[in-house]
Amino acid sequence: MADDDVPTEWLRAVLPLAVLAVVAEEETYGYAVAQRLQAGGLGAVKGGTLYPVLNRLEAEGLLTSSWREGVGGPGRKFFAVTTAGRDHLDRRSAAWHTFTERAGGLLPDPRSAR
């Protein structure tokens, strides 16, 4: 699973794709995305990191957003994936897996004791 000291650069690299993947699972809002990322082992992602990513994905046409009435609280901004977002997610996920496999092949595996 996720190691405790994952460099922030790694998180920064994978965050847009991970956020897109979470929104692609189901229409959701900022705080729920943060909770899902944490449950997925990526650690606590602060609002100041998350919302600019969501906004950038929306600006790129990969997500759409709409405000909905909250239950007894302020409204929530829900994000949904677009067709372009789903295509992007599929392509980039495949590329990511290829990339991590190649990188993994170059790195020593601590689990295979010699």
Partner 1 sequence: MSTSVTDVWQQRLVAALRARRVPAERIGEVLAEVDSHVAETGEDPTEAFGTPREYAASLTHEHRRDRPALLVLEALSGAAAGWFVAVGAVTLLRGGEFAGMPWWVLVPLGLLLGVPGGLRIAGRARQVRDPRTGAPLTPTPRRALVTITGTLLALALVVAGIAVALT
Residues that bind partner 1 (CB under 8 A): 29-31, 46-48, 51-52, 55-56, 59, 67, 70, 73-77
Name the minimum Å distance from CB 58 to partner 1: 10
| Residue number with CB closer to partner 1 (41 or 47) | 47
| Residue number with CB closer to partner 1 (45 or 81) | 45
Question: What letter represents residue 20's amino acid?
Answer: L
Query: Which of 76, 68, 45 has its CA nearest to residue 18?
Result: 45
Name the minimum Å distance from CB 31 to partner 1: 5
| Residue number with CB closer to partner 1 (73 or 108) | 73
| Residue number with CB closer to partner 1 (74 or 110) | 74
The answer to whether 80 and 23 are in contact (CB under 8 A) is yes
The answer to whether 54 and 33 are in contact (CB under 8 A) is yes
Name the minimum Å distance from CB 97 to partner 1: 28
Name the minimum Å distance from CB 46 to partner 1: 6
In 10 A of CB 27, how many CB atoms?
16
Nearby residues of 63 by Cβ (< 8 Å), 6 or more positions away = 20, 23, 54, 57, 79, 80, 81, 82, 85
